Amino acid sequence: MNLRIKNLEYFKKWLVLGILIGVAAGVGALLFYYAIVYAQDLFLGGIAGTQLPSSVGEGGQPFVQDNMLLVPISLLLGGLLSGFLVYTFAPEAEGHGTDAMIDAFHNKDGKIRRRVPLIKALASAITIGSGGSAGREGPTAQIAAGIGAYISDLLRLDSRDRRIAVLVGTGAGIGTIFKAPIGGALLAVEVPYKRDFETSALFPAVVASAVGYSIFGSIVGFQPIFGYYLQAFDPLNLPLYAVLGIVTGLFVIFYVGVFYRVQEAFRKLRIKNHIKPFLGAIVVAAIAMLFPEVMGVGYGWVQIFFNATTQNLPTYGIPLILIIVLMPFAKIFATSFSISSGGSGGVFAPGIFIGASIGLMFGLLFHSVSPGIATSIAPFVIVGALAFMGAAGKVPISVLLMVTEMTGSMQLLPAAMVAVALSYLVSGDRTIYKSQVPTRRDSPVHMNEYSTPMLESIKTSDLILEDISVRTTSSPGNAKRQMMELGVHRLPVVSGEHVRRLLGGISMEDLERARSGGSIAKLRLAKIAHVGYGDSARKAFMVMAKNDSVWAPVLKDGTYVGTITLERLSAEYNRRFKKARVVPSSHYR
């Protein structure tokens, strides 16, 4: 079967593979989804009697808090178990999943160990179910990508097909569990790069995402995550969305900075890695006691923001304005300590929450300043969520499609376009996925496609030419001394002083046999090869090999103009190679 699949033309092959990966992603997403539900019932529900709210598209359950004082126990236990699973069985399953997939695509030929999907699913379900601030899209992406890699190995596909399969699995996983098959498919081809697309994965990603979504939706329902939003778009609000986009871009810079500074701090801790998620859970527990909204995936809270007015927002004894202002900061730090400490979970859903809370903040501000224009808070919540994640993940096109799938309407598309574009521009090269590269040209996968071989790019006209030839008027003795000084056993012979022509070559052996009183002109010269002025260094190397020498004579319009030496050529090659190896300063570290 594997031989037949490998030999099929592109569309037929990837139709079959897309269906296989889509089925695997749909089943995997379902198992992971219910694993989270079970883990929440076991940890938060069983220990603290707490039920996190869910969005309309996932049942619309309310927030229930029986004994919040026991929530830290749930979080700490989850941190311990997650750290044990990850660092005992699959250390590459730590973190937020999508970035590990991107790294596998660029640097590991799409290879993902077979145990990773299982460990990632268990560890992430425990992290999220115990109250950790993490998303389910990143883990689902890594789970589905791992399944895609396994299918590729099972069918004995080559490394190129394996890399595509990993992207296809990612898109199918995210599109399935987020109920956004179109956005998920496009995200698969957009997420490896900051400013480019892996177009070879688009067709199979569409197929796989559609199949996975169909399977997942058949069980949990097809209603959009945040229900249906049918309010008409008001063009007068575009300047307000522009302001929101700029602010979310600034928050992206802060988010990425905090996330990776926390990660670096935990990496420098000289303690066993297994314990680090437990330490992160301590900080998250402290934050959760003041802001329970930071726990879990957060879509239920985004739904509350979406439906919010100044009358129905919960206060928990803290002034409302303080809650709203501090909410995005609380989520940023809770997510950073949940995941950067070594815990397992995604950053997509936390990004949606952070952007939504910023949208809530500014929606209320705009409404209070101009109730006649900003008549509703909900649009700012959704647009803020998309603007933030589109910039943080450097996936602006994907999230623009997701707005129609999240709300079941295209009404907010113009607003999202303005906000996402500005947020993307303001945030610059900052990305939550540090394994992303700027473009296809910067990926090791495509290096040979976009880079001219170094020896072809160096031209003889770029090099300093030396005159190491022998004149026909020279004596054999002078020619010998010249060869000895240069450390060579052969030299080109050139006629005349004004119009110089390449006549051939002469060796030390030829000179030994010559009479001492004669001249080079009387000797029999050997034929030698030459290069033209402007030919490539590659050709110069071939000429050197053919002449059995470390030089190559250069002719311009039939006239000898100088000689290229191996030393000069090697120096220029090394200089350009070192320059090409320098990492661009714009690349986020």
DSSP string, 524-581: PPBP---EETT-BHHHHHHHHHHHTSSEEEEEETTEEEEEEEHHHHHHHHHHHHHHHH
Statement: residue 518 has pLDDT above 80: no
Residue 582 lies in a domain: no
442 and 466 together in one domain = no
User: Is 430 domain-assigned?
Assistant: yes
Task: Provide the strand spans (E) within 372-508.
Answer: 470-471, 490-495, 501-507
Final residue in a domain of this structure, among 412, 446, 480: 446
Q: Is residue 583 part of a domain?
A: no
Does residue 467 share a domain with residue 406? no
Residues 411-449 have pLDDT tens digits of 888 899 999 999 999 999 999 998 899 988 888 887 666
Q: What is the DSSP letter of 42?
A: I
The pLDDT-based confidence of 262 (bands split at 50, 70, 90) is very high
Instruction: Flag whether 580 is in a domain.
Output: no
- Checking if the pLDDT of 403 tops 80, the result is no
Q: What is the mean pLDDT of residues 98-110?
A: 85
Report the alpha-carbon distance of residue 577 to residue 586 in Å, rounded: 20
Q: What is the mean pLDDT of residues 542-555?
A: 86
Which helix (H) or strand (E) segment holds residue 400: the answer is: helix 396-407
In the predicted model, is pLDDT for residue 515 greater than 70?
no
- Could you tell me if 318 and 419 lie in one domain? yes
Scored b (16 or more CB within 10 A) or e, 492-506 reads bbbbeeeebebbebb
Most confident of 13-17, 320-324, 524-528: 13-17
Q: What are phi and psi of 463, to 5 degrees?
A: -100, 155
Higher-confidence position of 332 and 573: 332
232, with CB counted inside 10 A (0-12, 13-18, 19+), is exposed
Rounded CA separation 163/440 (Å): 14
Segment (H or E) for 65: strand 64-65
Among 44-48, 166-170, 235-239, 583-587, whose mean pLDDT is lowest? 583-587
Residues 437 and 532 in one domain: no
Residue 372 or 551, more confident: 551
For residue 316, the model assigns a pLDDT of: 43
Do 141 and 221 share a domain, yes or no? yes
Q: Render pLDDT for 148-184 as a digit per residue (tens, 0 to 9).
A: 888 888 888 888 888 899 999 888 888 898 888 999 9
Mutual angle of helices 378-392 and 348-369, in 10-degree steps: 140
Q: How many CB atoms are closer than 10 A to CB 179?
A: 24
From 446, 473, 496, give the residue that closes a domain: 446
Residue 213's contacts (CB-CB under 8 Å, 6 or more residues apart) are 26, 175, 176, 179, 181, 184
- Residue 351 pLDDT greater than 70, yes or no: yes
552: left (phi over 0), alpha (psi -120 to 50) or beta: beta
The whole-number pLDDT of residue 342 equals: 87
Number of domains in the chain: 2
Average pLDDT of the chain to the nearest whole number: 85
Residue 316 tokens, joined = 């928990």
Lowest mean pLDDT among 72-81, 218-227, 239-248, 464-473: 464-473
Residue 580, pLDDT score = 60
What is the domain-level CATH number for residue 82? 1.10.3080.10
Residue 384 in this model has a pLDDT that exceeds 60: yes
The residue behind tokens 């990612």 is: 170
The pTM score is 0.76
When pLDDT is averaged across residues 539-555 and rounded to a whole number, the result is 87
Write the CA distances from 387 to 3, 194, 250, 288, 406, integer angstroms. 45, 15, 11, 25, 14
CATH number at residue 570: 3.10.580.10
Query: Which of 380, 414, 446 represents a domain boundary (last residue)?
Result: 446
Which of the residue ranges 56-65, 197-206, 482-491, 521-530 has the most confident prediction, judged by mean pLDDT? 197-206
| 38 token code pair | 């079970």
On whether both 420 and 375 belong to a single domain, the answer is yes
Q: 583: pLDDT confidence band, cut at 50, 70 and 90?
A: very low
Q: Are residues 425 and 534 in the same domain?
A: no
User: Three-state SS across 286-348?
Assistant: HHHHHCHHHCCCCHHHHHHHHCCCCCCCCCCCCCHHHHHHHHHHHHHHHHHHHHCCCCECECH
Note whether 441 and 472 are same-domain residues: no
Q: Residues 441-475: pLDDT tens digits?
A: 888 887 666 555 677 778 888 888 888 888 887 88
**C-alpha–C-alpha distance, residues 214 and 463, integer Å:** 62
- Does residue 586 sit within a domain? no
In a domain, 581, yes or no: no
Distance of alpha carbon 132 from alpha carbon 337, whole angstroms: 9
Residues 512 and 424 in one domain: no
Residue 228 and residue 406: Cα distance in Å, rounded? 8
Q: Are residues 552 and 494 in the same domain?
A: yes
Residues 515 and 565 both lie in one domain? yes
Q: Which pLDDT does position 283 carry in this prediction?
A: 95
Q: Which of 3-12, 290-299, 326-335 has the lowest mean pLDDT?
A: 3-12
Q: What is the DSSP string of 477-501?
A: HHHHHHHHHHT-SEEEEEE-SSS-E
- Of 51-60, 373-382, 411-420, 426-435, give the lowest mean pLDDT range: 373-382
416 half-sphere exposure, CB direction, 13 A CA radius: 30
Compute how many other C-beta atoms are within 10 angstroms of the C-beta atom of residue 540.
Answer: 26
> Bridge partners of 245?
none
Q: Is residue 571 part of a domain?
A: yes
Q: Are residues 521 and 427 in the same domain?
A: no
Domain extent, residue 516, equals 455-575
Q: Is 540 within a domain?
A: yes
